[in-house]
Structure 1
Amino acid sequence: MMILPERLHKGDKVGVIAPASPPNLSNLKKAIPFFENLGLEVEVAPHVEKVHGYLAGTDEQRLEDLHSMFINPEINAIVCAGGGFGTSRIADNIDFQLIKENPKIFWGYSDITYLHTAIRQETGLVTFHGPMLASDIGKEDFHPLSKKSFDQLFKPSEMIYDESISRLEAISEGEASGQIVGGNLSLLVNSLGGPYEIETEDRLLFIEDIGEEPYRVDSFLSQLKLAGKLDEAAGVIIGDFNDAEPKKEGPSFTLNEVLEDYFAEMCKPVIKGFQIGHCQPHFAIPFGTKAVISSAHKTLTIQPGVQ
């Protein structure tokens, strides 16, 4: 049973946490007026500016910020400052019962994928894959469509992604429905064999990544395939694969050739070209809500992620 978080209203408060790597603090500060212009207040967690190696504070500090934002009744939504590395380190110590008893909007992407998967599968809470403060919102190229993605938090409404947003291409034909799950491809592979292994059966699997050459994407998809995750999925949504060109001299497959290799004969809908991921615009989507993907119409129709 999925739990829909409460929608936002003007005057609500957004909590900012950094559960992965240290965020760019200049970009973070530039992003705060965006939320204020939406009529929201912003509270930055105590340890966001901490630096502990390649982490934004110790595991204990980052976990404390996550828990405190969920339990604080004045916080209506939690938005991650950025990604990087480190969320898998704290997943085992998350108080999932606390989150289940205090459901609210949780928003981020990239390394946050690990938290999306763990929280959804342990609590049933719908979470949101969308642009973050330091990584996106505080930058000059933050796209109007990315900004508009936050509208879904204020009013429950069906969203339709079609070719008016970006060119879409069906690798495999069909139509399917199911909960949207997934996120950053390398993080999904990282979950295999652990307690928060991604569940794809009868679901629509979304994947994206950045800076991974075709041979690396090949390796990730091979591992998902061998684990049964591709066969179990009802359909596949392929987001943006930023900077996926071969970097070494010598023969290589292209990213498109790798995707064709794994998905062309799947006998289920697989569509690529969605501007979702490390890109601008970045179309934000909820994880855990039901959606329908259609190769005939080249559409992804998504049910509301808030109530």
Structure 2
Amino acid sequence: MKTPPLLRPGDEVILLSPASHPKSDQWRQGVEVLESWGLKVRLAPHALSHYFGFGGSDEERLSDFQLALDDPAIKAIFPIRGGYGSSRILDQLNFETFIKQPKWIIGFSDITAILNHVANLGIASIHGPMPHNFCQVGGDEALEMLRNLLFEGKTHIEIEADSDNRLGKAESILVGGNLSLIVHLIGSKSLPDFRGKILLLEDVGENLYHIDRMVLQLKRAGILDQLAGLIVGGFSDCKEAGLSVGKNVNQIMLEHTSGSQYPIAFEFPSGHIAQNFPLVFGKNIKLLVNANKVQLTD
């Protein structure tokens, strides 16, 4: 697995919209943050385009992302936001230059498709905050962690233990992201090999019976039986609907992982929440879950 070079002050990075278009000007605050880190920020030609709900047509979004992959001056790629649309352009992208000269891709939500696709190509990426939500109230720690990760390359996270956690430890490569997107990738070449991996899952705005259905799909596909560990991030605004399953997210996860022995960490600060801690996908990481804390270190 190749890890892209760390960033240095003066490096050029690019903002683009491979999924949905920005809903507001919040991304401009993201530019200010990146510039305060000493980075030069380029806006892709179609970064602010609208094509229905997308950040431009498929052709425009494809063109911007191909430019970002190929231009040697660009050292990191920041999708402005998620939404929907990344997987529509994945199969048309040419990653030959990117594989030879890897660079960081940072994002979450719909960007899950891209992160896992490049992990399959042997390149590490970062599941973490995007410029559209850099300045969320309460997200300062996550943003500082992202800066440290990009410039110094270290992961050291400790959080308090959750009462639903399953204790244990694991050391493996981290993969995953948005649950809806992981299920969406099943059967495609973008789906990672989960055997012996640590899986991160998060989601937003899904009814609990939808969550149950998707986690059950992971189980039926044999994915949940293959893991070395499971990290359950934020499941924001996921509520019971008219069709009730009688379980919360933690209970759904525990039911469908019953019989396995690997550690499970619940309520991890990752996903559609202010404290969206950045994590490196495609890189070996150590997970410790004990009675007092959850620890992630490289």
Query: Is TM-score (shorter-chain normalized) higher than 0.5?
Result: yes
Q: In the alignment, residue 213 of structure 2 is paired with which amino acid? A: S
What displacement does 1:248 show?
3.2
1:161 aligns with 2:157: yes
Whole-angstrom CA distance in 2 between matches of 1:292 and 1:167: 16
Query: Secondary structure of the equivalent of 2:25?
Result: helix
Matched residue, 2:40:
41
Equivalent in the alignment of 1:52: 51
* Structure 1 residue aligned with 2:225: 231
Identity in percent:
30
Confirm or deny: 8 A CA contact 1:47 1:56 kept in the other structure: yes
SS in 2 for 1:9: coil
Task: Give deviations 1:119-149, integer Å, cap 9, x for gaps.
Answer: 110x211000011111x1144x152112212
Q: What's the CA shift string for 1:223-263, capped at 9, x where partnerless?
A: 11111111111111111111112143867322232122123
TM-score (norm 2): 0.94
* Unaligned residue ranges in structure 1 (runs of 5+): none
Tell me the secondary structure at the aligned position of residue 189 of structure 1.
helix
Specify the alignment match of 2:242 in structure 1. 248
RMSD after superposition: 1.7
CA shift digits 1:93-138 (9 cap, x unpaired): 11121220221111000000001111110x211000011111x114
Please point out which of 293, 298, 306 is paired with 2:293: 298
TM-score by length of 1: 0.91
Would you say 1:149 and 2:145 are equivalent positions?
yes
SS, match of residue 232 in structure 1: coil
Contact 2:225–2:257 (Cα < 8 Å) also in 1 = no
Per the alignment, do residues 24 and 167 of structure 1 end up closer, same or farther by CA in structure 2, a change over 3 Å counting? farther
**Corresponding residue number in structure 1 for 2:72:** 73
Aligned match of 1:128:
126
Match of 2:13 in 1: 14
- Partners of 1:300 and 1:98 in 2: CA distance: 36
Provide, for residues 155-187 of structure 1, a one-character-per-residue CA deviation record: whole Å limited to 9, x for no partner: 122x22222xx5534533322111000000000
**Per the alignment, in what secondary structure is the counterpart of residue 251 of structure 2?**
helix
Which structure 2 residue ranges, 5 or more long, are not aligned?
none
* Corresponding residue for residue 211 of structure 2: 217
Instruction: Map 1:178-217; keep pairs closer than 5 Å.
Output: 178-217=172-211
Contact 1:172-1:266 at 8 Å conserved across structures? no
- CA distance in 2 between counterparts of 1:225 and 1:250 reads 20
In structure 2, the residue corresponding to 1:229 is in which secondary structure? coil
